[in-house]
Structure 1
Amino acid sequence: MKASAFLERELSHRQVLLFFLFATFLYVLPLILADFPYIDDNWRALAAGNAWARQGRLFVDWLYGALTFTGAAPNIFPLPLLLATLAVSWALTRLTFHYFPQPTLAACLVPLPLWYNPFLLQNLSYQYDGPATALSLAAVVWAITWRSGSRIQRWLVPAALLAVAAGLYQISLNVFLGLCAVELIRAVQLRMPWSGIGRLLGGKLSQLGLAVLIYGVTAWPFTDASRTALLNWDASPSLQVGINIARVTEKVALLFEGGLLWLSLALTLCALLGAVRLGQRLAEREEPVWKAWLLGVGCVLTVPVSALLVPGMTLIFRDFNEGARTLMGFGVLLTLLAYLAYLGLTPLHRRLPLLLAVALLAPLSLSFAYGRVLTMQKTFADNALYSLSRDIASRPALREARRIYLSVTWSDRWLAAAGGTFRQLPVLRYLLNVDFYMLAENLPSAGITNVVAERERRNATHVGYLEYPPLVDSLYYRIYLIGDYGFIVIKEPPHGRSVRW
């Protein structure tokens, strides 16, 4: 078969699944090769600990209990990520056939941004939490595409899937709401009757409401109250929401520095072409004008609503988290643009939607660049661990100290080896988000067990200000010994020196 014919022919269910298996695995391959324990992974692997239930993620505890056949969470990476990638591939296959009953290769590119979301890379960096996030995404896609069974099953099963998704990672509900916006665009494109569109959207919102009730009965009672506190509604919450949106916008803007800006503009122009085609569909509807206008307004609002869902529900919580791992909704925004671009390009030429592959190469390239940065960070962390453990183990007074307190100095300049990469792709620094030299929970892997946990680092910080003579004075830290207690004070990273070759 000629390559040109393959690009245009209808694909079978098996072929679509194989495409997504290849594409999804390729995206996480750099993270698997890096094999870097990311932040929380260190203490979880050390204690084989779960403790997700108090974060409102009870089903993650159950997931690792089932995968490890224990009541805890021994580290079995990358097995959970491989299984989760398989589930996501299956879910994206369903979503492709949901949007395009007779899909071509170009059609498969439309839902792929849900996985090729650059900010999802931070979620997937967690060897423990990453697979749970991926399964949560898969559950949401299954919920949006579920159409089999009786009428009650078509209502209950998606609600149960959404409850599971929330119990794995609550932020994934932003993805569901964003996909509901895509459903409105799809319904207008298919010329669905006004009443059918109302039933469709009403049914989705009813499923979400029931899912919240199921989640409230199962996972919510185990959640710490500190994680559920909302904004103070008596202290100008709209101002705080505006500040949070500005902070997220600033972080998202990092993605578009350089050549990605022109690529995003091209995708937006193609999406505008699709919006024009959609407007023509609205004009062809044999309904009262006010209904067509109302649908048109709804379709226009899908873009700002999807943009607002990039941070989504996190905006209303008191402890706002601006980390990249909360921006799962960005993948839905990209999917919406890709769907509109497909609608706009297909009538011009059947192969033109394949240009979406160029847009998807950008996050794939970013994934591989991020994998190299993780490898650099792993090398730096290993050298830091070797240096610190050697200084402690080689001095009897330190290795026999009753307790050693470890301070922390936050900085974004620790990883000098990635300086050039960060300048060209500043979003990678935001994705990495490792702004410390060493965690106390890293040291037991080198046999050092008398360094205390994170919550007591302030003791070492205080000692650093008292100007005692250090027992060890290294490039990155000083170690003090006062009686039976040691204190590790991390220095600021070296200033004013740039790596030039």
Structure 2
Amino acid sequence: MNVSLVFDRALDRRQVACFFLLATLLYALPLILADFRYIDDSWRTLEAGNAWAGEGRWFTDLLYQVLSFSGAAPDIFPLPLLLAILAVALALARLTFHYFPEPTLACCLVPLPLWYNPFLLQNLSYQYDGPSMALSLVAVIYAVTCRGTSRLRRLWEPAAWLVLAFGLYQISLNVFLGLVCLDLCRTVCNRWSWRQCLDLLGDRFAQLGLALLVYFAMAVWLMGTERTALLNWNADPLMQLGINLATVLQKVALLFHGGYAWILAVLVLIALMGALGVGRRLEGGEEPGWKTWLLGLLWLLTSLILALLVPGITLLFRDFNEGARTLMGFGVWLMLLFYLAYLALTPLHRRLSALLIIPLLATLSLSFAYGRVLTLQKTFSSGALYSLAHDITSRRELYEAKRIYMSVTYSAHWLTSACGSFNQLPVLHYLLNVDYLLLPESPPFLGITNVVIERERRNATRVGYRGYPPLVDNLYYRIYLLGDYGFIVMKEPSRTRAPLC
């Protein structure tokens, strides 16, 4: 096949959609193959439970009721994720035509970081929540790309998409704000007038304001204070913001080790070249000098805001969540780098922009590495569960106990089989975020229904401290029996039997 036909020809909508369908499916494939119940998935599977409305995500409830033809959320994985992947592919195709009227294959690489966001892997690890988080991206993309024929339609249609996005996953607000910033950068690059930029910004704020009003009216009264409590503005909020930002930077830095650091450095360098090209375009524009400076300042501010939108609104909440699943804004920041790199490479040679595939391949490699780590975690957890089930079912006094309380020992050193991967790619440990041996929701999968987690009384932990003789004592836990009640006390994982990780 002629290379020029592949890289130089303009693609139609069907071809662009097929490309994104293949790319998005390939990125999620390792997680589908791993088939690992991630944290909340265990109890949701057992109870066919939803309970998303209490978190302000009532559209996720509706999603599973529609897909399962029931009033709850039975386990139908991977159907929701496959449908979400199809929707994401169509949305990315729409976004591509929003940026490039006649896209080539290289143009399709620019929006792809929105999905090839390394931290999005944790979102997609959730078999229940992952598809709804992905669909929130779809809703945001449609909100940004809506082009209504009337002013009223340009207001309510994007607002409706945003309400849908927030009802699926509130963190998608970061993505919307990031795409608005990216749109502003694009308008500056395309030499839009100052008034056109202000009109665009005004439209977006009006759409967002209407969406937030509708969403708060419908959802906030259902949510608890743990979801809505903001920073204490009487207790040095700037210091709290600084601490939260430092935490995010520390977590993001885990990604850039080895070859990934070099790839980022080269990408940033090329993006800076693209930014300088944008500056030269502004100087050659028709706007007066002071307006040119204002446009340049606007472009610089939006670029800085994009960096802040990596954690975004999570910085403002009292209970700051440092999980990778909250860093959806990182994908938009990568998109900005890709867009600027595309602007820098294309004038040099029309095929040089195809080099953008290299960081995408690096992220794809990370996805497959993470999929293998999930498989190792699944194997380890299954082995521990089978061991516990054998210890309980082989002892009459345990399986007939009224209740068995389980303590959970949190540690970063349970999964020794993945130490090599963790040492080479520290971000994998951050993405996995499984710091326990077993959850109390696990035994029912093997028919054991009398195991529950210890509550505020910490009765299992206290039994372990009092020196009672254990009924079972193995590498990972001890089981005590006092009367009709059992107690499972998890041990600290040994760091002497395997390499540190």
TM-score computed with the length of structure 2 as normaliser: 0.98
1:261 aligns with: 261
After TM superposition, give the deviation of residue 257 of structure 1 in Å: 1.3
Amino acid at match of 1:11: L
Other-structure match for 1:40: 40
* Alignment-mate amino acid for residue 318 of structure 1: R
Structure 2 CA distance for aligned equivalents of residues 311 and 455 of structure 1: 32
Superposed counterparts of 1:475-494, under 5 Å: 475-494=475-494
CA shift at 1:3, angstroms?
2.4
In structure 1, what is the equivalent of residue 110 of structure 2? 110
C-alpha RMSD over aligned residues: 1.1
Aligned-residue sequence identity (percent) comes to: 65
Q: Structure 2: how far apart are the matches of 1:158 and 1:299?
A: 24
Greater CA drift, 147-156 or 302-311:
147-156
Aligned to 1:72: 72
Q: What is the rounded CA distance, in whole Å, between the counterparts of 2:333 and 2:35 in structure 1?
A: 30
- 2:454–2:460 CA contact under 8 A, matched in 1: no
Question: Superposition pairs for residues 335-484 of structure 1, below 5 Å?
Answer: 335-453=335-453, 455=455, 458-484=458-484
User: 1:360-395: CA deviations, max 9, x gaps?
Assistant: 111100000000000000000110110001000000
Match of 1:178 in 2: 178
Amino acid aligned to 1:225 = T
Q: Distance in 1 between matches of 2:379 and 2:149?
A: 52
* Aligned twin of 1:24: 24
Tell me the distance in 2 between the aligned counterparts of 1:302 and 1:260. 25
- Would the aligned equivalents of 1:405 and 1:456 in 2 still touch at CA under 8 Å? no
Letter of the aligned partner of 2:222 in structure 1?
F
Instruction: Write the mapping of 1:247-326 to structure 2, written as runs, cut at 5 A.
Output: 247-326=247-326
CA drift of 1:189 comes to: 1.8
Q: Where does the alignment leave 5 or more consecutive residues of structure 2 unmatched?
A: none
User: Residue 212 of structure 1 corresponds to which residue in structure 2?
Assistant: 212
Q: Work out whether residues 476 and 491 of structure 2, in 8 Å CA contact, stay in contact via their aligned partners in 1.
A: yes
Distance in structure 1 (CA, Å) of the matches to 2:149 and 2:35 = 42
- Deviation track 1:415-452 (CA, whole Å, cap 9, x = no partner) reads 11100000000000000000000001011010100001
Letter in 2 for 1:87: A
- Name the aligned partner's letter for residue 415 of structure 2: L
Q: Aligned equivalents of 1:445 and 1:57: distance in 2? A: 27
Task: Give the partner amino acid of 1:182.
Answer: L
Aligned 8 A contact 1:140 1:176 in 2? yes
The answer as to 2:99 corresponding to 1:90 is no
Q: Distance in 2 between matches of 1:355 and 1:218?
A: 46
Cα displacement (A) at 1:101: 0.3
1:454 offset after TM fit, Å? Answer: 5.8
Q: Deviations over 1:4-42 (max 9, x none)?
A: 322111011100000000000000000000000000000
* Change over 3 Å in CA distance of 1:457–1:492 after alignment to 2: farther
Query: In structure 2, the residue corresponding to 1:440 is in which secondary structure?
Result: coil
Using the TM superposition, give the Cα deviation of residue 232 of structure 1 relative to its aligned residue in structure 2, in angstroms. 0.6
Query: In structure 1, how many angstroms separate the alpha carbons of the residues matched to 2:394 and 2:72?
Result: 35
Which digits, 9 at most, give the CA deviation of each residue in 1:152-193, with x for residues without a partner? 112111011011101110001000111111111110122212
| Distance in 1 between residues matched to 2:96 and 2:332, nearest whole Å | 14
The question of 1:197 aligning with 2:197 is answered yes
Name the amino acid aligned to 2:400: E
For the residue of structure 2 that corresponds to 1:178, the secondary structure is: helix
Instruction: Say yes or no: does 1:59 pair with 2:59.
Output: yes
* Residue aligning to 2:3: 3
Partner deviation per Cα, 1:61-115 (whole Å, 9 max, x = no partner): 1111111111110010000000011111111001100000010000000000000
Distance in 1 of aligned mates of 2:454 and 2:243? 29
TM-aligned CA deviation for residue 456 of structure 1: 5.9
Question: How many residues are matched?
Answer: 500
| Structure 1 unaligned spans of 5+ | none
- Letter in structure 1 aligned against 2:22: F
Cα shift at 1:496:
1.9
